[in-house]
Amino acid sequence: MKLELNFYNFIYVFSCSLGYLLSIVLLTYGIKKRSTNILMGLSFLFLSHGILLAGLIDTGLIIHFPFIYRTGNLAGLIYAFLPFLYIQFTLFKSQFKWWHLIHLLPALIYTVDYWPVLMMNSSEKLDLILSEVNDPYLIVSFTQSRFFPSGFYTPFRTILVNFYWILSLILVWKFKKANPALGEKKDVYHWIQTYLFFQLVMFLPFYFTLGSLDKDVLFKAVHFGAALQDLSTGLFLLYFPNILYGFDFSGEKMTLEKPEPDGSKNLPKGPSIDEEKAADLDQILKMKLEEKVFLIKGYSINDLAKDSGIPHYLLSQYINHHLGISFPDYINRERIFYCCQLLDSDQAENYTLEAIGELSGFSNRNSFSAAFKKVMGKSPSKYLKDKSEKK
């Protein structure tokens, strides 16, 4: 049996090739620079493997690869939750917890269910394939299941992907609500929107053809739709090189090196700004600080450049070299000064420390506590304790 390079087969081959290539790039740079890219790399890897199996089944070439028989659905069940975890960890900087392993439960159930088939030798698997190879829809009906009826796994997998897609939408909505200006995560936010949009290509055809009696249409609705989704997502990822190669959200490379205690020592050197120009810049920035732009969560140097009318390169040069401080420390310092005003006011008793941190522009309590200690030399709770003792 030979591969006929028609439109469908071309998409299968191109999609798998691009998906595997991107998974290697994402995993490589994810390990080196941004760990969340590992999740996206794995999602491309498992999805591409599932598409590879679908393409082999559709063309009948699966008879030449019996050793990977029934592994495509396992890859699909693992893929289902990976985009959701990627979005959660990227937008909210979550950390992996042991309970996240619960997402593997469907894949674990499938593995136990199909363990006898997965453990067959290649000749035994080939006998099963030959009995079904003339009907691709029959192969994906999973008639060897011990726990579930025939035809259960394919729609279940699609519904599972749909379920995690809805959860991902909720995460994006929550992030946008908490960070209306988006800040430094503007690029990654737009990429995630694109990512979720193209996932529609995977499961919508399944619902549109659910009542069809044409088995070939039903097969392609699920599996060819996944190939189109993998291909379109991969191609659009090329338009987000900062995401693909692990740059930070402001477009500069992330580094794993630990910064020195004095942040100014790590700042790149550049030409100095004359005193007259520095005075003008200082006046403009003071006006913006009086407007309390630093209270916007996720406020980035790009946002400040846009709001102040100062070119990004000049603003970065002034803050880094003239003030001798990095932009995150510069903006956090202003937030902490504002926070201290709140803590010293009579209304401080009406708020928790976490609420005061949010009012001061911080996205979470950890970043608030770390910035407060860096600026004031003590934790917020210690600051309040010292204040009460003075009274």
Q: What is the pTM of this model?
A: 0.64
What are the tokens at 138? 């029959």
Cα–Cα distance measured from residue 222 to residue 220, given in angstroms and rounded to the nearest whole number: 5
Cα–Cα distance measured from residue 280 to residue 81, given in angstroms and rounded to the nearest whole number: 51
Q: Is the pLDDT of residue 265 over 70?
A: no
What are the tokens at 378? 């003590």
> 25-29, 175-179, 387-391: which range is least confident on average?
387-391
Q: Please report which confidence band the pLDDT of residue 273 belongs to, taking 50, 70 and 90 as the band edges.
A: low
pLDDT for residue 272: 57
- Average pLDDT for residues 87-106, to the nearest whole number? 88
pLDDT for residue 391: 63
DSSP annotation of 133 reads T
Are 305 and 317 within 8 A, CB to CB? no
pLDDT for residue 268: 46
- Average pLDDT for residues 242-266, to the nearest whole number? 49
pLDDT for residue 70: 94
The pLDDT tens digits of the residues spanning 163-193 come to 999 999 999 999 888 877 776 677 888 889 9
- Average pLDDT for residues 305-325, to the nearest whole number? 84
Burial-class residue 119 by CB neighbours within 10 Å (0-12, 13-18, 19+): exposed
Q: Is the pLDDT of residue 87 over 60?
A: yes
The pLDDT tens digits of the residues spanning 37-65 come to 899 999 999 999 999 999 999 888 999 99
Q: Under CATH, what is the fold of the domain 263-390?
A: Arc Repressor Mutant, subunit A (1.10.10)
pLDDT for residue 249: 42
Residues 6+ apart with CB under 8 A from 348: 342, 356, 384
pLDDT for residue 233: 92
β-partners of residue 240 are: none
The pLDDT tens digits of the residues spanning 111-167 come to 999 999 999 999 999 999 999 888 888 898 999 999 999 989 999 999 999 999 999
Q: Please report which confidence band the pLDDT of residue 105 belongs to, taking 50, 70 and 90 as the band edges.
A: very high
Identify the CA nearest to 227 among candidates 18, 37, 64.
Answer: 18
Q: Is the pLDDT of residue 354 over 70?
A: yes
Domain 7-244 is of which CATH architecture? Up-down Bundle (1.20)
> 183-187, 228-232, 339-343: which range is least confident on average?
183-187
| Domain map (residue ranges) of the chain | 7-244, 263-390
Cα–Cα distance measured from residue 237 to residue 194, given in angstroms and rounded to the nearest whole number: 9
* Percent of the chain topping pLDDT 90: 37
pLDDT for residue 29: 86
For residues 391 and 339, the model is more confident at 339
pLDDT for residue 184: 67
pLDDT for residue 219: 86
